[in-house]
Amino acid sequence: MKSLPYFCRGAVVRGFGRGSKELGIPTANFPESVVDNLPSDMKTGIYYGWACVGNSDVHRMVMSIGWNPFYKNTKKSMETHIIHKYKEDFYGETLSIAILGYIRPETSFNSLDALIKAIHNDIEEARKQLDLPEHQKFKDDDFFKTSKKEIMNGH
Ligand code: ADP
Ligand code: MG
């Protein structure tokens, strides 16, 4: 995909309440404005990359670009699961992400167990990919530092 790596940020909004958190896999949702800016060659499916909430540390993430049930699947949605344990929710905070690679297309699963298993595989794949030097370097990208500066200056 020629648009990768792709960098973006936005405030975390409430999702569809599909209970991702109850499955142990919370997904932070981006607002429509961020989704609307996605390059058209970025197909739906599961991606890996780096994520940073507010001015805190940069962590690994897996992200799904999917069809938004709220708009009867006519609009896309972007949901990021950060591979890190947060003590609290961070609705309203700025989430900055660098999307680096594609893992697999969207699929429907026969059972919840199969879905959870697939997501755990995605997380495993993301860890492996993000350990590679060519992906590690983006963790220190100026994009994440800019976000810190802006937040500290109150912009
Ligand atoms: P919603 O339907 O509102 O998106 P989720 O069950 O998907 O609800 O939970 C997402 C929320 O959980 C995020 O908006 C964020 O505030 C919080 N959260 C806590 N830990 C994480 C994490 N590791 N990755 C993503 N979101 C997290
Ligand atoms: Mg969610």
pLDDT in tens, 18-36: 778 888 899 999 999 999 9
pLDDT at residue number 118: 94
Counting from 1 in the atom list of ligand 1, the atom nearest the Cα of 17 is 2
Q: Which of 79, 93, 106, 134 is catalytic?
A: 79
Q: CB count, 10 Å around CB of 133?
A: 6
Top pLDDT among 97 and 72 is at 97
Residue nearest to atom 22 of ligand 1 (CA): 82
Q: What is the pLDDT of residues 108-152, one digit of tens each?
A: 888 889 999 999 999 999 999 999 999 999 999 999 997 666 666
**pLDDT digit string, tens, across residues 1-13:** 899 999 999 999 9
Average confidence (pLDDT) over 68-94: 90
Tens digits of residue pLDDT in 37-72? 999 999 999 999 999 999 999 999 999 999 877 777
Q: So what's the pLDDT on residue 147?
A: 67
97, 4 Cβ separation under 8 angstroms: no
Global pTM reads: 0.94
pLDDT at 109: 86
Dihedrals phi, psi of 76, to nearest 5 degrees: -85, 160
Give residue ranges with CB within 6 A of ligand 1: 12, 14-18, 20-21, 26-29, 81-82, 84, 86, 89-91
Q: How far apart are CA 34 and CA 63, in angstroms?
A: 14
Tell me how many degrees the CA angle 140-42-83 measures, rounded to the nearest 5: 45
